[in-house]
């Protein structure tokens, strides 16, 4: 979920917002919260406090974990605010109205029906961003509808869906094709066979395509992403709608168990998490979430393996390295820029994002030109010089 280059100045200011003497808003994680955080349409909210010249102001408040623009989610509640039953009921009704029109199970059922249709009857409404069954055609008669949706197109939903307007919450800038191909080739070479794709839908697509087209390939993936539109392209065991800023599974315990089973399969061997959060995202809630995913993975480890770490690739702006390592001291920054492209185009662009990883000790496994496209295969325990391309 990379961001366009003209964001980076503003995001870099965000990266420095937690420094002593700065002003802004910081996330608060109570060690023993007395009550659960209130809910907005994106799950449990986060507790924030305003900071002025490094000093906290007294009154704290709850706001949406995922949306930094109040036009996208205007939830606001003071921490000590008491709400009437009427306001609580109105909030619950609002949260329900904001959910997708179809349940996860309904999406899966529709997908199975859709793939059985003959090619001329496979249609997609660009206006509603929805796969259409024959019973839907009349309702969408005056919309922009694309026909003859092939199996190949169904396998690449990131190229079929249009970008959402909110660049701060959703994936507008994804991995370029060559970055994805690089990763798909790299991960099996490292002995990794399962990829937890957190906010990396294009990587998820290519892993599945490789698995379906190569009988010798044993690599598989699970996508966790906040964009509900992906629900109509995948069964429940390959996609979970997920908010990475508060560890919220929108489809409840069933989706959480899908993730748990995926992480703990084969006693957790051969799994890696690859994540590409929105570049405007706050490091602290992301780190808390990733620690919860790592803890879920560790639950399936034997006592003899308790010292192991879950391999992680975290793609984020380079100037956040020190913040990330406050939470994950063993992580190390790679020195190659990731290539990104717009949600609806294939034109790659260089990003000021580097990869922070827990895969220590890897050396140059290849000297092919692939090393220029995305990630460095050589890791260093000290911050390396940036290779520009």
According to CATH, the topology of domain 173-372 is Rossmann fold (3.40.50)
Quick: pLDDT tens for 90-128: 999 999 999 999 999 999 999 999 999 999 999 999 999
pLDDT the model gives residue 203: 95
pLDDT the model gives residue 378: 28
Q: Where are the alpha helices (DSSP H) in the chain?
A: 8-15, 85-97, 104-115, 151-154, 157-160, 177-189, 201-213, 252-264, 283-298, 321-327
pLDDT the model gives residue 336: 61
According to CATH, the topology of domain 104-154 is Double Stranded RNA Binding Domain (3.30.160)
pLDDT the model gives residue 306: 65
Quick: pLDDT tens for 167-177: 454 545 688 88
Q: Shortest CA distance to 74 belongs to which of 94, 102, 51, 97?
A: 94
**Can you give the residue ranges of every domain in the chain?**
5-97, 104-154, 173-372
Q: Which residue carries 């709608």 as its tokens?
A: 241
Residues in the chain where the model's pLDDT stays below 50: 1-21, 167, 169, 171, 344-353, 360-389
The number of angstroms, rounded, from the C-alpha of 335 to the middle of its chain's C-alpha atoms is 22
Torsion of CA 71, 142, 106, 228, to 10 degrees: -30
Pairing of strands 194-198, 271-275: parallel
pTM beyond cutoff 0.75: yes
Alpha carbon distance 238, 235 (integer Å): 6
Give kind and range of the element (H or E) at residue 184.
helix 177-189
> Residue 58, SS3?
strand
pLDDT the model gives residue 172: 55
CATH topology agreement for domains 104-154 and 173-372: no
Alpha carbon distance 152, 160 (integer Å): 10
pLDDT the model gives residue 383: 32
Contact 5, 167 (CB under 8 A): no
């Amino acid at each position: 979920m990379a961001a366009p280059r003209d964001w980076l100045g503003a995001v870099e200011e965000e990266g420095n917002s937690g420094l002593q003497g700065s002003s802004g808003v910081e996330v608060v994680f109570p060690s023993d919260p007395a009550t659960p955080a209130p809910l907005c349409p994106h799950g449990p909210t986060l507790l924030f406090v305003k900071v002025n010249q490094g000093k906290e102001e007294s009154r704290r408040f709850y706001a949406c974990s995922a949306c930094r623009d109040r036009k996208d989610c205007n939830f606001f509640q003071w921490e000590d605010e008491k709400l009437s039953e009427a306001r609580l009921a109105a909030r619950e009704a609002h949260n329900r109205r904001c959910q997708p029109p179809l349940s996860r199970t309904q999406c899966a059922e529709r997908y199975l029906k859709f793939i059985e249709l003959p090619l001329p009857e496979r249609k997609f409404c660009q206006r509603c961003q929805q796969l259409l069954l024959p019973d839907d055609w009349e309702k969408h008669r005056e919309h922009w509808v694309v026909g003859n949706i092939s199996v190949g197109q169904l396998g690449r939903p990131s190229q079929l869906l249009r970008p959402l307007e909110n660049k701060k919450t959703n994936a507008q800038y994804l991995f370029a094709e060559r970055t994805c191909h690089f990763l798909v080739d790299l991960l099996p070479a490292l002995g990794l066979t399962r990829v937890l794709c957190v906010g990396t839908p294009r990587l998820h697509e290519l892993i599945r395509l490789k698995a379906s087209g190569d009988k010798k390939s044993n690599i598989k993936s699970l996508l966790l992403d906040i964009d509900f539109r992906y629900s109509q392209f995948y069964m429940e065991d390959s996609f979970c709608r997920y908010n990475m800023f508060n560890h919220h599974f929108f489809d409840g315990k069933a989706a959480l168990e899908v993730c748990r089973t995926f992480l703990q399969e084969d006693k957790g061997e051969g799994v890696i998490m690859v994540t590409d959060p929105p570049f405007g995202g706050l490091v602290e809630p992301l780190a808390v979430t990733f620690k919860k995913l790592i803890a879920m993975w560790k639950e399936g480890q034997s006592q003899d393996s308790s010292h192991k770490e879950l391999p992680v690739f975290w793609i984020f702006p380079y100037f956040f390295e020190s913040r990330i390592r406050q939470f994950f001291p063993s992580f190390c920054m790679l020195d190659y820029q990731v290539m990104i492209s717009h949600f609806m185009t294939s034109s790659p662009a260089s990003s000021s994002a580097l990869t922070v990883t827990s895969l220590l000790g890897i050396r140059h496994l290849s000297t092919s030109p692939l090393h220029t496209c995305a990630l460095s295969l050589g890791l260093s325990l000290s911050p390396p010089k940036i290779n520009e391309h």
